[in-house]
Structure 1
Amino acid sequence: MNEYQRQAYLDALGVEQYVPRWLLTVAPEPRACPLPEEVAPEPQVAPASDKAAPAPKSVAPTPVSEVLDGMRREPSRQRAPEKPTPEPASPAVEPAEPVTPFTLSIWRSPLPVLVLDAREPRAAFPTDRLLRNLLNALGPHDAQRVIEEILPWPLVNNPAVRLTAEDARAELHTWLEAELATGSVRYVLLMGANAARYFLPEGQSYSEALGQVQTLSRFNVSALVAPSLIELLRDPARKRSLWQALQAWLPMTP
């Protein structure tokens, strides 16, 4: 992973990070960590005059920040004259549009189905009642064991973490892998655009997959793409197509 992600994970785990402020005379030379935008190459080759004075004993220690800044600035100087043609390739990869932070409702129950629903926190709709009716249609279960959890994205609130679709996909895939590790879930119900977009194969849109059963090969589970609970309550006519699609899963037993 890149340096920003590493720092974000360590910060979320409560691991204190230490970076020396000064380059001491007997200390090894620091290395720049890879960043998301560009990979820092090896330290710049200084002229012979600079090479002869790596760490004079009589001179005050050099700040580490200056050394790392010089290592990051060097590639931008060399890249322009050396290869002007590959430059267009980087804009082609970088136009990843930013993703607005969002939240999902994660519904767990005794049934072997995990429900991910796209939330709209400001909308006052009885989504809880609709979800419980939906689970009752899937199979008999103990209603007292139906639990909702709010999953925010990004999972780590760090300004250094980029908010792109690629980052959202990577983080949510890691989360779902951990969620399915117990083996108690065989089906996933993806309700709403934000719940489905990052688990569908790349290039497939939410509207194209709506109402279809998808095989998430990476997770070895079957997933049904459906409207969110809010969308169903705003347009009750859409419930009919959802009940028809659910027939492929019924009856479902714990």
Structure 2
Amino acid sequence: MQVVNWLPRTELPFAAPSRPELLDMPEPEVELAIAPAPQAEAPVQPAARPVERPKVEVPRPTAVVARAAVKPVEDAEEAPVAAKPAPVPPPRFALQLLRAGRCLLLVELPTGESFQSRDPAYLLLKDMLRAAGLPDAPQIIGEPVRWPLLVRGTMDQGPEAARDFVQGFLSVRMEEAPCACLWLIGLPAVRFAGEADAEAFNSELQIEGLGLAWAIPGLELLMEEPRRKAAVWQAMRRLMARWKESNE
């Protein structure tokens, strides 16, 4: 019956005396509720995101072909664009056409205005005509040729257009009367009628459609540098026979 200790209520006859320690009833144990020590709150960990599985892209032939086709277009767009050349400003000059005997003179106007009877440049021109055996009162033909023609507008007025205009103007005038020799006096006349530069001064030029021409420094340049007159005189002596024969 699982009885550890048994004590009779009355003393039993002929029984062995009881042990005193067995008669002491132990006091029941009282359990004290001990509150647990406070613990620091653990930081709240964010919820871990589920690990995503990496996506494996399988290359497709169509994508490779499309990328290869786009590559040349991208290279073309990245290529530097060649800068356009700056437009050449139109030349500026004023030329007067005169006739002396059987010679035509295309003369640069130093001031841009028509000659006056007492202008130093015009007096020098008269001296040159007398030395050449030509009339020293040349006939003025038309208005001066001034370039550019228009102040505004989109018409081409560059050097090539100026050359075509001057040569066309001379061609028309030469058809009206024969010309033994064309004097081109001044750099603009030499450049846009004779298609030459300053190195051609005091030399003969054979111009297609215009015939023989003589390149001469400008009147203003001859007055500023008188030493040039000697070279002009020597060239004049070589060519003088051309217009003298025409006058006979």
1:237 matched to 2:238: no
1:56 paired residue number: none
| Stretches of structure 2 lacking an aligned partner (at least 5 in a row) | 1-75
Number of residue pairs aligned between Structure 1 and Structure 2: 164
Distance 2:215 2:99 in 1: 17
Which structure has the higher relative contact order (CA within 8 Å, separation 6+)? Answer: 1
Distance 2:206 2:94 in 1: 24
| Stretches of structure 1 lacking an aligned partner (at least 5 in a row) | 1-82
> Which aligned pairs between 1:60-209 and structure 2 lie closer than 5 A?
91=84, 95=86, 97-109=88-100, 111-121=101-111, 126-141=120-135, 143-144=136-137, 146-147=139-140, 149-155=143-149, 159-201=153-195, 204=196, 206-209=197-200
- The two structures have a TM-score, normalised by structure 2, of 0.56
Q: 1:132 to 1:156 in 2, by over 3 A?
A: same
The residue identity in structure 2 corresponding to 1:250 is M
The residue identity in structure 2 corresponding to 1:223 is A
Q: 1:145 to 1:125 in 2, by over 3 A?
A: closer
Per-residue CA deviations over 1:22-69 (Å, capped at 9, x if unaligned) read xxxxxxxxxxxxxxxxxxxxxxxxxxxxxxxxxxxxxxxxxxxxxxxx
Checking the alignment, whether the CA contact within 8 Å between 1:96 and 1:165 is kept in structure 2 is no
Residue aligned with 2:127, SS: helix
The residue identity in structure 1 corresponding to 2:156 is R
User: Which of the pair has more CA radius of gyration?
Assistant: 2
The residue identity in structure 2 corresponding to 1:248 is R
Distance 2:191 2:180 in 1: 20
Aligned mate of 1:223, from 207, 213, 224: 213
Distance 1:248 1:182 in 2: 27
Per-residue CA deviations over 1:178-211 (Å, capped at 9, x if unaligned) read 011124212111111111111234xx4x122122
- The two structures have a TM-score, normalised by structure 1, of 0.55
Residue aligned with 2:231, SS: helix
Per-residue CA deviations over 1:215-241 (Å, capped at 9, x if unaligned) read 11232x211111111111111111110
